[in-house]
Structure 1
Amino acid sequence: MTSQLKYLSGFGNEFVSEDPRCPGSLPSGQNNPQKCPYGLYAEQLSGTAFTAPRAENKRSWLYRIRPSVIHHPFIHLKSEYLSHNWDENITSPKQMRWLPFDVPAPSQAVDFVDGLHTLCGAGNPCTRSGIAIHIFLCNTSMNDKCFYNADGDFLIVPQQGVLDIITEFGKMRLEPNEICVIQQGMRFSVNVSEPTRGYILEVFDGHFQLPYLGPIGANGLANPRDFLTPVAWYEDRDVKGYQVISKFQGHLFRAEQDHSPFDVVAWHGNYVPYKYNLALFMVVNAVQFDHCDPSIFTVLTCPSNKAGTAIADFVIFPPRWSVQEHTFRPPYYHRNCMSEFMGLIFGNYEAKEEGFLPGGATLHSMMTPHGPDTQCFEGASNAALCPTRVADGTQAFMFESSLSLAVTKWGKETCQKLDSNYYMCWQALKKHFNPKWQPDAV
């Protein structure tokens, strides 16, 4: 179903794939010949401006049975829960925690597009600046229907259920503890066989890339060779009333056409959808003292124009050893100039064993203090500092952004999952100050 994607960030690399049913379907020697093999149409999909520097330029050539321009006019669709109206509520700086979001009842058929619920975000897709965080809640497949996002990239994190994704480039199967990125403009359809839930980080600026490693060196964190992209696969299928759903300027639109859009026989380029298994992440950690900043767990980043500051980072907290000496090992208490949204795929997050549940979320806004709950602090302050495994059977993640995130009406009220008692997890922290303290006798 998938083949290796050797490098993620472009850097002049070219990927090539053709459906084995049509050998030689890729034109030889040029991108757009007068007549393509097999009577195909050539179509370019550009993810950056034509004049972007070569190392940053993203585009792919698709060789398809029909060009994607063959469709009827778009009409506006009313979407109840997809929103980019960040002014519909006043967002409090308080720490926020959501209990697991409800999947649709069996009596209600909801597909991936209909199940998109915007939780929070900032910025404007019209000016290509900002992010949105969505929760997807669905229980049925997208039948004779595809979706594409004209506003930006989707980083999809499934938490419950398996997603079988068909794209113009081929097929991907996505399970919990895997992620995929469907980049701006790429058409895809999602099939499911059970109630399914997960998280989406949408970026309007640029694209995701691997973080620079700096002093870490050439190896570590997410290795480029572990990212996978689909192999070419096509279907030549006439379908009356096939729906193409577009997300454009924060709204949904529908156009109809008389054929499947997944008719790409061959493609080449460096602008592709891709997936990654989080279990393959190579952890870098402290081995002497103190607690490293969470940036060492960055899988993907979408940089801003300010050096070293991200529009969005995707960060994970995978199983690992904790061996620091003379150190409070869990995350430290913290106030941050970034916004921190966390989700839990499975297990129990080390700093909050209770209340933060798989399928739920937390949001710690800019300069709002947060950190380990009372139980975690007391336990870690008195634990024997022997080598210890951390986060076995757990996968927590964070969407971190330099933007101040506003919560939607759905996130604040409609979903009815906001935990009003979240603040209580810190209230039992005791004062341990002793003005007569003396260092331990040697």
Structure 2
Amino acid sequence: MAPFYAQSVTSLGAPLHPLCRETSGIKNNPQVCPYGLYAEQLSGSAFTCPRPTNKRSWLYRILPSVCHKPFEPLKEGHLTHNWDEVEPDPNQLRWKPFEIPKAPQNKLDFVSGLHTLCGAGEPRGRNGIAIHIFVCNTSMLNRCLYNSDGDFLIVPQQGKLLITTEFGKMLVEPNEICVIQQGMRFNVEVFGETRGYILEVYGAHFELPDLGPIGANGLANPRDFLVPVAWYENCQVPGGYTVISKYQGKLFAAQQDFSPFNVVAWHGNYTPYKYHLEKFMVINSVAFDHADPSIFTVLTAKSTRLGVALADFVIFPPRWGVANNTFRPPYYHRNCMSEFMGLIKGHYEAKEEGFQPGGASLHSMMTPHGPDAECFEKASKAKLEPERVAEGTMAFMFESSLSLAITKWGLQTSECLDKNYYKCWEPLKSHFNSKRK
């Protein structure tokens, strides 16, 4: 069945399923629900949060989600929040495209194909992030996942994801993103070899950044975020249905004999949602110098410090470069943030060789980084005229105020680590001339 979407993630009271239009206007938790349904609230914030940050939705289900057997540990994937597996590494790091296993010899679905690459903090204290890679070649059959620890921001790089949630279905393709918020059950269907990136945040939800002097319009517009319309299954599952919980960084599985996607209707403001990156309204310099890369922020998860993000999701989309007397690629840089970059498609302007779609790089706090030698020489001699930048390309960055640790899988187990990354800067030459006017 094709996915259906409501118009905006920001609207309170998304459309109900046609079967339950008459539930609109009744109490959230009536003594007897229409059609014999059960009312169940999913809360994404403390009950007493201020109204602008209070997140909750009411789900009207055929059976409540409490009907399952006890959870048992599940050994799948390479998920971890143990940041002491290996010694810290401050070097510039780059990974070649993460390999997708071949089916049918090695079948992996979205859960079994999850690998933690780096992170900081921990979910029990409700403060931190983790960056995961997913590689899979088969769909999740009769099982779903929900994250008790935090929110998943999913960035597919290769292959479509048909995501079934308790709120309905979403088809998410490369150059789109989706956010599955804490506690929401979902299932991922794929159509061949599939790969992508996940930014997980503990203790905060993603939101649109403040625009400040930009004004009312710009960057990602609320109208372009889409949420599902209610869709439900009413069936007994032969052999049972597996509900997987990610809890304190580990996976647990429980059995039940019915589909968890039995929500006939819902309303509220705590939902999964998707966004197409081509909808982003790019802001840029039109005179000289660089604006800070924060102008490319799509979503942010705020920390407790004003103006400092727990994590930002930033993109570098196609745009015009017109600045005068300016070195136009990203400048050489040291930063008090951690910068993880991925590439969905095309060639990133600062490193056209080596940084490939499906790969990644990590530049840790205060570790210098910037254009490779070839990019520097080319941009230094280029004729400064209006030019299209990043045409056919979509690079992105997960940026965090936390100092990220690499996992054992990221440094030792994965065969994709590019051990020659540092060499891309070795050809840089000194052009200093004290006698030049």
Q: Is the CA contact 2:6–2:14 (under 8 Å) kept in the aligned structure 1?
A: no
**AA in 2 matched with 1:211:** P
Provide the residue aligned with 1:2 in structure 2: 4
Query: Deviation at 1:379?
Result: 0.6
Provide the residue aligned with 1:253 in structure 2: 252
| Residues paired across the two proteins, number | 433
Give runs of aligned pairs for residues 273-352 of structure 1, distance below 5 A. 273-352=272-351
Paired residue secondary structure (2:76): coil
Among residues 37, 46, 53, which one is paired with 1:40 in the alignment?
Answer: 37
Cα distance in structure 1, aligned partners of 2:394 and 2:356: 11
**AA in 1 matched with 2:304:** N
Cα distance in structure 1, aligned partners of 2:240 and 2:328: 58
Q: Is the CA contact 2:310–2:400 (under 8 Å) kept in the aligned structure 1?
A: yes
Among residues 164, 189, 192, which one is paired with 1:191 in the alignment?
Answer: 189
Query: Deviation at 1:25?
Result: 5.2
Query: Deviation at 1:24?
Result: 3.0
Cα distance in structure 2, aligned partners of 1:231 and 1:149: 21
Cα distance in structure 1, aligned partners of 2:213 and 2:137: 45
Provide the residue aligned with 2:267 in structure 1: 268
Cα distance in structure 2, aligned partners of 1:180 and 1:26: 28
Cα distance in structure 1, aligned partners of 2:73 and 2:34: 37
Cα distance in structure 2, aligned partners of 1:429 and 1:397: 26
Q: Is the CA contact 2:157–2:197 (under 8 Å) kept in the aligned structure 1?
A: yes
Give runs of aligned pairs for residues 364-379 of structure 1, distance below 5 A. 364-379=363-378
Cα distance in structure 1, aligned partners of 2:81 and 2:264: 36
Provide the residue aligned with 2:58 in structure 1: 61
TM-score (norm 2): 0.98
Provide the residue aligned with 1:83 in structure 2: 80
Determine what percentage of the aligned residue pairs are the same residue. Answer: 68
Query: Deviation at 1:193?
Result: 1.2
Provide the residue aligned with 1:146 in structure 2: 144
Cα distance in structure 1, aligned partners of 2:48 and 2:205: 16
Q: Is the CA contact 1:79–1:251 (under 8 Å) kept in the aligned structure 2?
A: no
**AA in 2 matched with 1:98:** W
Provide the residue aligned with 1:420 in structure 2: 419
Cα distance in structure 1, aligned partners of 2:290 and 2:20: 54
Provide the residue aligned with 2:160 in structure 1: 162
Cα distance in structure 1, aligned partners of 2:267 and 2:175: 28
Cα distance in structure 2, aligned partners of 1:124 and 1:256: 27
Q: Which runs of 4+ in 1 moved over 6 A?
A: none
Paired residue secondary structure (1:24): helix
**AA in 2 matched with 1:122:** A
Provide the residue aligned with 2:386 in structure 1: 387
Deviations 1:345-376 (A, max 9, x none): 00000000000000000000000000000011
Query: Deviation at 1:80?
Result: 4.7
Q: What root-mean-square deviation, in Å, do the aligned CA atoms of Structure 1 and Structure 2 show?
A: 0.9
Query: Deviation at 1:5?
Result: 4.1
Deviations 1:375-434 (A, max 9, x none): 110011110000000000000000000000000000001111110100000011110101
Cα distance in structure 2, aligned partners of 1:84 and 1:404: 14
Cα distance in structure 1, aligned partners of 2:7 and 2:47: 23
Among residues 27, 32, 47, which one is paired with 1:30 in the alignment?
Answer: 27
Q: Is the CA contact 1:343–1:396 (under 8 Å) kept in the aligned structure 2?
A: yes
Query: Deviation at 1:2?
Result: 3.2
